[in-house]
Structure formats: structure tokens, C-alpha cells
Structure 1
């Protein structure tokens, strides 16, 4: 008989046009909003540059007016002396004409007064201009945070779209012909033909899924690690026949649904793994799945129906619940499911967060995890970067719980864990020993050289260019931000009033912009705080006042760190975005959408998360920290990110410029001690 060509079609369900159009619309909407906000930011940057240039011009004019004021003052005094001399001569000689001297003095006085008025007007213009600049800077840092938040939303929308595209459902019809073997019965040839047809269908289904991905260009090169799977919803034989030449032809209609190891979605899209945390834990470094090339673990059965059209079912094999075919892994699902009498529930727990569970080499996500597995012997492994993996071979006959304990690798800071996971032993550092974060201890930062700025190309314009900095001497720095209790001691001792208490209060974030609240101050920042929280709602001058007081109390000189000192200490001999790498991770710091219990709610107690290599806590997130401004600066820079700012703004090189009198419930400080 003539061999029929392979036929292939995808039903409308495979395309699921409505769902995927909605996903794309979401992505497009976020991208559109991003473009709008980026344009706004660019415009404000240009406006700010013009205002700064105009202020420089006004300052230059002011300098000229002040120089002229000295000259006019000198001229006025000279005119006065000349007129006084003529008055003395007038006593002896009444005929002397003093009109010219009087006129000269009158003009000198008038010109001097006009110059003083011009200086006053110039100062008022500069003050007004500076106020505009401060407002523009606040608007800019608001837009920067909004932009970074939108980028996060875009990443989340892209992940969701890809997940939906991988889990679409569709029907394929394939026609396949094989040569029956001489030693093979007709039933065996028939079963083998249907099996190979089903295998073709699953491969073609996966090919079609990949071909229809919106971001196919990005994902396709990583297809070998995608972990894409196929669930066979149902399949049936549309037609089949044997030929006189010993060939068997079968026409199969197979309905399938895509499936995905969701923890790999971020890797496929080159995104931070935190965007996939809700779907599962990202794969450990270097893990790649392997896929067999046959259906040796499956069994196909053929049932006659009243119209003599066979029904192909894929039956689960007790030893292996998943079928893998080259790239795709096919999870077998009967069209009429039956109770899984040979499966039992297993619950896995561990002593760490963000781990990954492997059962027989297949990733199942992170603990706490409950899965059903066939009865029998299984290889269990729990991994986490920076920890020794837990491995065990378990004979599972009934429902049970497996508790895995992972121990940290020596001297590893690859994935720091929240303080709640740490033991109570002191942390050994090269330069000091830190036993507690709550006492605002001092650590020694060694001298050295480092590259300052945007090392990865992900930063803001004001983080470039990268420059090499040399710190010739070591210095001491507080290992935590100054706390509420410590600041209260200063207030009690001196009776000092912060700018928030004297002025218009303190700013807080609402609907993406700072709003002033008259009642907010260091003791009432708008969220519940304890004595061990970082003090906030303090201005640059407030922080300097505290430093001066502490210097008198301790008999040593304390001050705010300059930007070079701050970034060098925060980097702690690393060249990555964060102390542990280039991804923010989950629950490793307190910043917006960073996965901690404080994220987008409030500051966290100081020292709640692991320190960096130098023993400094909370250099990532919690609250922005004031740094010491240079003599030539009008603005002041804050560093480190905050609990309500995007994770990408908590990078070690991020800089935000603010007015010295600005204060907010997301800005605090820490000090350095002079040698």
C-alpha cells in the first residue's frame, strides 16, 4: 500500500488565543508604562540639568555682585572721606563748592544700596531655584523606584506568559507506517506502531510549543535544559490497517497538555530566580536533566470499541511515573484515570530555606513539599547552594515524612541565610569577631583598592564611569545602622529636636511618591518599631548632630562615611551586585519584593539578616543610609536601598541624591570612627 504522508495539525486549544493574547497584552501594557515613565525620567533629568546649570549661573552672578559690593563699599567710603575733607575746608573758606563731592557720595550710596538689593534678589532666586532642584530630585528618585518596580512587574508578566505558553493544551493527528518484523506477531507490530506514533506526536507537540513561544528566540537556545514535559490527556486510533507487504499504518489523534518544571522559567528568560519563587526553587548550579530516547518504561494497550476504532491508553508503570523522550519528558495520563493504589504520599522538610528536592534525579521544588511516589526504593536528595547536600536512599512503603538536615559549607557566603537560620556561634572574620548585631559594634575595615561604580552594566547613569579607588588606611565602622534606642539616648541627653519635629514632619511612600506627614518623626515613623530598629525620619543634619554628640560621649571622632568608604565596606572584597552574588535571592535582605516578612511593610530590626564579608549588617536594603557630602556638593547621597524600594536599587553601587534637609521613614544612617 502507499505510505500516507505524516499529517499534523494543532487544534485551537493549543493556541489558546484568548489566554495568550491577554498575557501579551499584560506584558505590552507594562512595557508601555515603562516607556512612559522612562520618558518622564529622561525629561526630569534634562530639567534637573538645566536647573543645576541655571543655579551655577546664578551663583556666578552672585559672586560677581559680592565682589562688586566690596568695590562699591570702597568707593562709598572714599567719596565720604572726600566730602568730609571739603566740609572741613568749607569752615575756613565758605566759597568752596562741595556740590560735586556731594553728588559723588550720593551716587556711591545709591549704587551700593542697589547692589545690596541685587544680592538679596539673587539669593532669593537661588533659594527658589534650589527648592525646585530638591523637588525635582525627589521626583526623580520616585520615578527611579517606579521604573524598577515596573521592570519587576514586566519580569513577572513574562514568566507568567511563558508558563502559560508551556502548559497549553492541544490535539495532534499523526499518521505513521512501520514494517512488521518477521518474528513479530500482528498484535506486537500493531502495539509498536502505535507506540512510535505516540512518540512522534509528543515530539511534534513539543516542537510546536517551542515554535509558538512569544520569546522563542531567547528560549530556544536553552531548550536542552528547559525540562519541558508532555501530559497525554487522551489518545485514540482514528484508523489503522495492515498491508500485504507486512506494513502497519496507524492514524492517531492525541490530545496533550504541556507541563513545565516552573523553577526553570527564569533561567530560560535570563531573569533573576526570585521571579519564579512562587512556582518552585531554581535549579542548583550546574544541574542538567538527561532524557532517554525510548518509551521503554511505558506500556500501550489497545481496546476494541463498537465501531472497531481502537483506543490507545498510556498506562503508568510502577517504577517510573514520568516518560522522557529526547528533549520532552512525557508524563502519562490515562483518558480515564484510576486510583493510584501503588502510590503513597511523602512529605519532605529541611532546616534551610530555598532548597531544592530531587527524587530519582527529578526536581520537585523546595521544602516543605508533599508528593506522591510509587512504592519502592527512591533516591532522595536535597540541595542548596553553599550547603552540603542531603542524600539518602529510602524504601518507601507507606506515607511518611523525611527530615533533611543540611550543613553549611566551610567559609561559604554564596547564599547567606536569614539570622533565624544561623547558629549562635560568633562569626569569624579576618579583621574582627562579631558576636552580636544588636549592640551596634565596631568592625575594622582593612585598607585596600577597589573598583567603584556599576561593574555589571545594570546600574543608573550616576554610577558611571567605574573608577579605581585606593583606601590607604584601615578605618572602623559601625556594624549596624544606628538604632532607635541609641538615638533616644542622644535626644534624652541633649534635648535635641530633629528637623521632622521642628518642621513639616517626615515623608513616607504612598502610591509611588513621598508624602509629608506632620506627625511622623524618629519616634513615630508610621510603622511599629522597637528599640532595635534603625532610626529613620532623620535628616543629614540630624545624623551629623548625633555623630558630634557620640564623639563627645566616647572621646573619639565619629562621622558619616563618605561614599568611597561606604561602598568599599559594603562590597567587602566582592565585585558582585550584592554580597552573595548578582541576584537578590529570597529572604536574604529587607527590600521591596525581596521575600522577607518586612518587605514593603516596614524596616526590620538591625542585624536580622546575615552580615557581609566584613561583618556589616543591612548594607543591602532595610533603610537608605546618609553619606558625608563633599565640600563642593549641595546635595547629599544616600546608599544601600530600603524596605520599600525595588531590589535593583539595593545594589552596592546605587546612588540617590537628596537635599540635606530631606527626611523619610526609609532613610537612616551608620557612622565611621576616625583612626
Structure 2
């Protein structure tokens, strides 16, 4: 709750309000844009539903016309037989009137032809309607991706606004009176009174910061985990006096700046921790400092029965200092033991990987490139990254140093929970029909059952209801998406030309909209690629053609996975949004705003990230993957997300519905091998 106005003895002014107003304006603008895009998306959903309903009506009418065609064809044949019979009778009886038989046959022919024309017109209407539906669906996908991207921006803006609000500056004047103890000198009483006045000022400043947070209602209940601090910029005694009753009264003016453990901002706002990745690693939730009241040369700490413990960093005192208390360092903030010398030396740490984490004596210092100043002495340095062997070194820091660490990738490291040796199925190479550098491998997916769909309630309407599905038999699946090199072998062997190469080219995103470019195809998708990148700009038929060819080459049956098979394999025994949990994390997959070097730039080489527990790579992000459609289906689902789609659309249950002839530089495929 908001604190009550302070008494007249305390006045505070929080500065830089224009900057905070700008932060709020940014958040408000993004929220407004989200609202607008949500309306557009909802309208598109309504329009699509209307078109789908109309298509069903057209299909129903077509079935009626086809049924009538059978009846009319029968009537025409019967009329023809009747007329032929009348002609035979006419030979024996020239006076016979055959006009009715002729008229019946003529009418039957006219009706049959009209019905055929009606069927042709109905098919044309359905085809035109299908094109409209395809355009609406693609527009919906664009709107959805834009909407989710705006939500990414909103989370970033909220975190930045909160950080700026915590780091406000202000000047506070506080009046404090204490009773001098009989056993202490006047100087000691004066020092104690000024200490307690400073404590009151810093605690009140912290209260004011929390009370003025834009999202105070959300943050205040988590106040004990904020790591809020105050840095004293300047302070001086306005006036002070002793009374005849042994009281000491001091009036202090203190200029302060707030500070916060920035890695905890995401927890305070209940957003994904990756939005705070630039501020360092998040600390454990529920952390609360617990210091006794004392001054140090670099910080002031205090504890109050009615307030959460706070740490107040003292940067400097002004020309009229309260006192020089000759205080000692507190080990709670320093990463080394108090026995270290006070002389600090600059240490620079670099590594050959992105998004690593540096630990110095077990304390996280964030990611490289890192420049920090430490007291001289011995340090244990460790640099970690998921999927890599940690770099470790013992350092005797006496003078400025630079460490260039080289991390080596582990041969088999997975982000998702691993199976036991009994559960894990062996991998097997496909017949060596392609270049060895591009030889695909398959993994055996065990039989089992799972819940399919929006288990956690964060998905789209087409992910519901959640259904329990049973995979009665094990099956084999490509561990990676089919690559450019593998598709090249198929084309070289057959001379096949993809639909993008035959007409219209391939779609790509430009300013958030899909644009068709005739020059784009699987060889030239609009970004640089190598043979180990996933093949894109392929339609459903292009993917099926590859599967048919591979089946013929190997003597085994390959096809696209059904949606049930795909989601079961992608989940790999989990019930979370991603194989490793419910948050996308950072640099665990290649999707838009996922923190990889390819995010929003291009696809990544297949298998660049850790596999799931079944041994499948890139089921999250990289490129959308075609799934199997039955003959009666007119549309196809793609699954898995892509390098230029928001993380929320890379969830394991996300479905996008497309026309089979759609192709884009963010859609590829992988295959299953039947038993």
C-alpha cells in the first residue's frame, strides 16, 4: 500500500520526473499499439470465421450440385433411351408423335449442361474464396507475430521504467532528536544522533521510491526481494543543538540516489528473466539482506523492526561532512573476504561464446565482455555456458589483467531433462545417399501417451481443447530439419524444380508484412546460408516430393509427421511450454528476441542448439515445420516457430494453419520413418 504523507519534519523531492514521464509514455504507447493490434487481430479472426462458414456453405452447395448431376445424368440417359425407342416405333408407324420424347431429352440435356456449368462456377467461387481465406490467414499470422513482438517490447519497456524509477535522485531533510546516555560523551551522543538521522533519511527515501513506483501495487508485495539501495550523493548538518535535558537534536539535509539489484526487476514484475539478462543473472527469489546497523567507508546499513533491511551505499560526503567515522568494510557486498587489501586492480574477461556467465569466487558478475575492479589477491575464475565445458582458472591479481577464455562445446549436451539409459533410444544414420557432411540421423521416438494442446493456458484458440493422445507404437524421426545440402542431393538426382522456382518465388517478412519476391527460393532465401542450414521456401508438395524420393532411395517409408507425432516428439515427455521449462530463456533457441546471434536475422545451422530429451534439435524456433495432411484436408499446420517469430509462437503446442502451396523463408520440414 502507499505510505501516508510524511510529517513536516521530512521533505523529499524526487528528481528527473520528465525522464520517468517519458518512460511511462513509452509503455503507454506500446500498450495502446497492442490494444489496436489486438482489435485488428480479433477482427481478422471474425472475418476468417465468416469466410470459413461461407466456404462450408459453398462446399455444401457443391455437394448438392454434384448429387443433382448424378440424377440429371440418369434422367438424360433415360430420356435418350425413351427417344430411341420412339424412333424404332416410328419406323413401323410413321404417324407416331415423338415430340414429347424429343422435348424430354432436349430438356434433360439442357438441365445436365446447366448443372455442369453451375458446378464449374461453384468451384471457381470456392477457389476464389480459398484465396481470400489464405490471405486472411497469412495476415492473421502477421498480426499475431506483431502483437506478440509488441508484448516483448512492452516487457522490456516496463523493466527499464522500473529500473529508472528505482534510480531516482532526491534531496530529503530530516529532523531527529535522541536522549544522550549518561555514560557517553557529547561527541559520542552527537555522532549517534547523526547516524540515526541518516538511517531515518535513507529509510524514508526508500519508502518514497516504492510509494512512487508506477507499478507499486505489483512490486510492493515483493519488496523484500528487490535489493533496493540508496547511494548518498551529499549530506550536511543544517543545524544541531543540545538541550538542557540531555537531548541532542540534529537537522540533516541528504541528497540521495536510489539503486536496485537490476537482475531482480523481472521477478518484481513477473516477466521472463531474459528481459533482465543485460543486467546480470537473477538472484534467488525471496532474498533479503540482513545486516546490523553500522556505518562503513563505502556503505551504510541498518535494520528496523518495521522496515525491511536496506543497504545504503555512501558515494561521498560534501564539504560539510557529518563526521569521518573511520569505518571498516562490510563483507556482505564485497565478493572477497575482508582480509583482502583495499587496493583495487582492473580485470577484463572475454570469451569466444555469446551469453556466458562469469563467476568470481562463486559470485556471478554477469556476462563477458566484463571489466571489473577487484582488490589485489587470489581469485577463482569460472566462465560457464550451457552446452559448453566451463573455463576455470586460479588468478593472482596484482596488476591489471585481461583473460581471453576459450570454451569448448560439449559433444552431447541437452537443455531439456535427460532420459535414463533405458529410456533413451539409439540413433541410426539414414542410408548414405547424401554427402557425408550432410548425412541425416534419425532417433527412435518411444511409444507413450501425452496431453496435446494448450496445457498451461497461454495458447491460441486452435490449441484447445487439451486432449490425451496415445502413441501406440514407436517411430523414427529426423533428429534435425532437412538441410539445404540434403535437399540439393534430391534436386541433383531428380531435376526437381520447387514451386517457388516455377512461379511467384517465395515470401519473406518486410516491416512485419509477408512480401513475395520472385527471385527467392530454397537456394536463395534472402539471407546467407550454408549446406547445413535448414531448407526453406518449400511448399507442402516440395517437402512431400523429397519424402517420396528418400523412400525410393532407401527402400523405407518416409513421410511428414502428423501433428500428434510432431507434438509428442517435441514435448519429449514434458508438459511445459518448451522442452526446458515455461520460459524461453536466452540463447536456447533461434526465434525472434530469443537472444541468439541469428534471432530476427536468419535461420541457424541445423542442430546449433541443445536437443530435447528424445534427441531432436530445433523443435523450438529456427524454422516452422510442415506436418502431414490427410487427403480430405485443404489446409496444413506448421509447427515449432521460427527465427523471425516471437518466442510465444515457438511454444510446443502453437499451430499455424496455411495453404499447402504457401512458401516462405521461415518454413522448412523434417520427416518421420514408418515402422
Which TM bucket (shorter chain)? 0.7 to 0.9
Secondary structure in 2 matching 1:638: strand
Match of 2:626 in 1: 626
Cα contact 1:506–1:665 (8 A) shared by 2: yes
Match of 2:273 in 1: 273
Match of 2:367 in 1: 366
Match of 1:111 in 2: 111
| TM-score, normalisation: structure 1 | 0.88
Cα contact 1:437–1:607 (8 A) shared by 2: no
Match of 2:333 in 1: none
Match of 2:9 in 1: 7
Match of 1:308 in 2: none
* Greater mean alpha carbon deviation, residues 219-228 or residues 530-539: 219-228
In 2: Cα distance, 1:129 partner to 1:600 partner: 33
| C-alpha spacing 1:333/1:122, structure 2 compared with 1 (3 Å) | same
In 1: Cα distance, 2:406 partner to 2:177 partner: 53
Secondary structure in 1 matching 2:507: strand
Report deviation, 1:433: 4.8
Match of 2:309 in 1: 327
Report deviation, 1:225: 1.2
Secondary structure in 1 matching 2:11: coil
Listed as ranges, the gaps of 5+ residues in structure 1 are: 299-314, 417-426
- Render the CA deviation track for 1:520-553: whole Å, top value 9, x for unaligned: 1111111111111110000001100110011000
- Render the CA deviation track for 1:406-462: whole Å, top value 9, x for unaligned: 99999985579xxxxxxxxxx998111589995320110010111111122111111
Report deviation, 1:493: 1.2
In 2: Cα distance, 1:48 partner to 1:240 partner: 75
- 2:426 is equivalent to residue 432 of structure 1: yes
Report deviation, 1:242: 0.5
Match of 1:343 in 2: 344
In 1: Cα distance, 2:245 partner to 2:463 partner: 75
Cα contact 1:5–1:175 (8 A) shared by 2: no
In 2: Cα distance, 1:394 partner to 1:185 partner: 48
1:213-232 aligned within 5 A: 213-232=213-232
Report deviation, 1:349: 6.0
| C-alpha spacing 1:391/1:83, structure 2 compared with 1 (3 Å) | closer
- Render the CA deviation track for 1:645-674: whole Å, top value 9, x for unaligned: 111111111110000000000000000000
- Render the CA deviation track for 1:235-262: whole Å, top value 9, x for unaligned: 0111110011111110111000011221
Cα contact 1:428–1:434 (8 A) shared by 2: no
* Greater mean alpha carbon deviation, residues 387-396 or residues 126-135: 387-396
- Render the CA deviation track for 1:311-345: whole Å, top value 9, x for unaligned: xxxx43xxxx674655322111114699x983332
| TM-score, normalisation: structure 2 | 0.88
- Render the CA deviation track for 1:294-322: whole Å, top value 9, x for unaligned: 12x42xxxxxxxxxxxxxxxx43xxxx67
1:647-662 aligned within 5 A: 647-662=647-662
Cα contact 2:415–2:610 (8 A) shared by 1: no
Secondary structure in 2 matching 1:657: strand
RMSD: 3.1
Secondary structure in 2 matching 1:277: helix
Report deviation, 1:110: 1.0
- 2:238 is equivalent to residue 244 of structure 1: no
Match of 1:292 in 2: 291
1:33-44 aligned within 5 A: 33-44=33-44
Match of 2:67 in 1: 67
| C-alpha spacing 1:373/1:332, structure 2 compared with 1 (3 Å) | farther
In 2: Cα distance, 1:386 partner to 1:552 partner: 37
In 1: Cα distance, 2:257 partner to 2:528 partner: 48
Match of 1:142 in 2: 142
| C-alpha spacing 1:409/1:477, structure 2 compared with 1 (3 Å) | closer
1:151-230 aligned within 5 A: 151-230=151-230
Match of 2:90 in 1: 90
* Greater mean alpha carbon deviation, residues 393-402 or residues 455-464: 393-402
Cα contact 1:228–1:327 (8 A) shared by 2: no
Secondary structure in 2 matching 1:206: helix
Cα contact 1:7–1:174 (8 A) shared by 2: yes
Report deviation, 1:369: 2.4
* Greater mean alpha carbon deviation, residues 114-123 or residues 430-439: 430-439
Cα contact 1:146–1:512 (8 A) shared by 2: yes
Secondary structure in 2 matching 1:235: strand
In 2: Cα distance, 1:633 partner to 1:327 partner: 63
Secondary structure in 1 matching 2:29: helix
Report deviation, 1:10: 1.5
Report deviation, 1:364: 3.8
